[in-house]
A = this chain, B = another copy of it.
Amino acid sequence: MSKPIKLCNISHYQSFIDKFDTFLLDCDGVLWRGNDIIPGFIFSFVYFIGKKLLFITNNSAKSRANYLEKFKKLNIEAYEDEIFCSSYASAYYLKNVLKFPKEKKIYIVGESGIADELALEGIRHCGLSDNNIQTFKSDDIVSDPEVGAVVCGLDRYINYTKLAKALHYLKSNSDCIFLVTNDDATFPLKDFVAPGAGSIAASIIKAVGREPDGIMGKPNKPMMDCIAQKFKLNNERTCMIGDRLETDVQFGINGGISTLAVLTGITAEKDLLVNDAPIIPDYYMTSFGDFSKLF
């Protein structure tokens, strides 16, 4: 069984960077953990000047513009075009891959990040105004032939009417597309985890009795297909950097690019070196911040 190559000195760091033109970076666990930044990571960026850096996150609640605000707060220089969150991926996929028809609209079970990104792609949407419905009334459930897709993401405003509407649109129209922004079972908060987009989607999947037509976020292929199409990736010169084996590293493997795991998130060195490790990155290093040692 092959083992990942450990990057542990300056010469390793430099030759790793030289191997690639494009780096896909997971954020939480690589650049920050919750509100705490990973020491040294901003200085590390200096050594990536001239390289293309893309920030890839499964979060669907935020738009790219929302993410940029977070980057600014952390003093990270970034551009909206370098951010690929699952809300944007969903909008991009609907417009550019599925060629979602202009006369149709999306029913959103999710938050404003999805709505904002759909609007930017010129795709009509509805659903957010159902956030405030407290009491389910069966009269609220009516067919709407304009709804051509249901997009489900993390939804902290979930209610029974939204679930029932999603079910009804998907059941009453077999052509209605069912897209899930990402399959994360949980959503990390400061001291505990809350239900993730995958948990909200599970409810609809169970009720409808069929799997989604697409799950966008890491480790799934649709998100990578969108990134590859938009940025014209050269797989041999692209590397995914992340802390989670089953999402980040698997995402790179599924996409046919190189992978680097960092140990500042939920993966420990022993998880990588265990004999029957099911997911093995090409490289690993202690922290993305260690590239700053090139200084």
A residues contacting B by CB (< 8 A) are 132, 134-136, 138, 141, 155-160, 163-164, 167-168, 171-172, 185-186, 189-196, 198-207, 209
Contact = CB atoms under 8 A, between A and B. Distances in A.
Given A132-B134, A160-B156, A163-B158, A202 B195 contact: no
B194 A141 contact: yes
B163 A160 contact: no
Contacts of A205: 202
Contacts of A158: 158-160, 163
A43 to B, nearest CB: 32
A199 B193 contact: no
Contacts of A201: 206
A167 B189 contact: no
Contacts of A167: 186, 193-195, 199
Contacts of A203: 195, 199-200, 202-203
Contacts of A157: 134-136, 159-160
A160 B155 contact: yes
B163 A192 contact: no
Ranked nearest first, the 4 interchain pairs of A and B with the lowest CB-CB distance are A202-B206, A199-B207, A203-B203, A195-B207
A138 B171 contact: no
A199 B206 contact: yes
Residue among A186, A204, A209 facing the most chain B CB atoms (10 A cut-off): A186
Contacts of A196: 207
Nearest to A157: B160
Contacts of A191: 138
11 contacts: A135-B157, A136-B156, A138-B189, A141-B194, A157-B160, A158-B163, A164-B194, A167-B194, A195-B203, A196-B207, A202-B202
A163 B159 CA distance: 11
Contacts of A192: 138, 141, 168, 171-172
Given A186-B207, A202-B205, A205-B202, A194 B155 contact: no
Contact of A159 (B159, B186, B209): B159
Nearest to A164: B194
Contacts of A207: 185-186, 193-196, 198-199
A232 to B, nearest CB: 35
